[in-house]
Amino acid sequence: MNILQIILIGLVSLIHIYILYLEMALWTTKKGIKAFNLKDKNFAEETKIMAANQGLYNGFLAAGLIWSIISNKVDVSLFFLICVFIAGIYGAYSTKSIKILYIQTIPASVSILSILLL
């Protein structure tokens, strides 16, 4: 992997570490409620276990991407980036939020393209 690919993959992993933090630690706070456009604090409290589970999965994506950088394995990078890409598409579709495309799908797409084209 070249330095550009490492930086791009690293950025995608940092995004997912931040999402993990939002979902596992900040879900019921003003910041978490605003970030995920939740209807209110009560709803956030009722769904915090589900959100923590989602956060854990985002952590696994980040860990896989970090592992791919450390091991310098492009196939591992592509696997986890494609997982992020698919999760972003599904998330945008299921929540009707285009914001997810910008936060998850586009960075993953740029990283995938950097691997396939460079």
Rounded Cα distance between 88 and 102, Å, is 9
Q: Tell me the one-letter amino acid at 2.
A: N
Range of the domain at 88: 3-117
User: How does pLDDT run across 60-105, given as a tens digit for each residue?
Assistant: 999 999 999 999 999 999 999 999 999 999 999 999 999 999 999 9
Report the number of distinct structural domains present in the chain: 1
CB within 8 A of 19, min separation 6: which ones?
55, 58, 103
Query: 53 by DSSP, 3-state: which?
Result: helix
DSSP letter assigned to residue 16: H
Q: Is the pTM of this model over 0.75?
A: yes
User: How does pLDDT run across 36-68, given as a tens digit for each residue?
Assistant: 999 999 999 999 999 999 999 999 999 999 999
Give residue 91's pLDDT.
96
Give residue 57's pLDDT.
98
Give residue 80's pLDDT.
99
